[in-house]
Amino acid sequence: MATLYVLDVYDITGIGLVVTGKVEHGSLRIGMRGRAQGKLLEAKSIEVHHEQLAEAKEGDFVGVSVAVSSINQGLEGGSFLKKLFSGSGDLKFLQSLKGKRVEFI
């Protein structure tokens, strides 16, 4: 389990949606999932100081590439994410998380 305090959000060409923030509690690993405001997030990749990591530890400032899905599209047929979004609506949603905490499990 990990708590990520969201500092900023970017839409990076070739990578997608990236959330930057501080791991306040626990360890954040690739594949961990979180919920926020009716959406599901999955950590696709983690970067600390321009270095790709499989895990970020408490106190690390990270960039996390995330996949976003609505809750009503998850958990069908054993699959966590049925459909991924990458539109401007997801960027606006992620921007609404600035200054908030997201729990990943």
Q: Which CATH architecture has domain 2-104?
A: Beta Barrel (2.40)
CA atoms in the 13 A half-sphere facing the CB of 29: 6
Q: How is the chain split into domains, by residue range?
A: 2-104
**78 against 104, higher pLDDT:** 104
For the stretch 57-91, pLDDT in tens is 999 999 999 988 876 554 444 433 334 444 456 78
Contact 2, 14 (CB under 8 A): no
At 28, list the tokens.
């954040």
Q: Any bridge partners for residue 19, and if so which?
A: 9, 64
| Mean of per-residue pLDDT scores for the chain | 84
Say what the pLDDT of residue 84 is.
42
Q: What is the mean pLDDT of residues 49-53?
A: 93
For 42-60, b where at least 16 C-beta lie within 10 A, e where not — what string?
bbbebbbeeeebeebeeeb
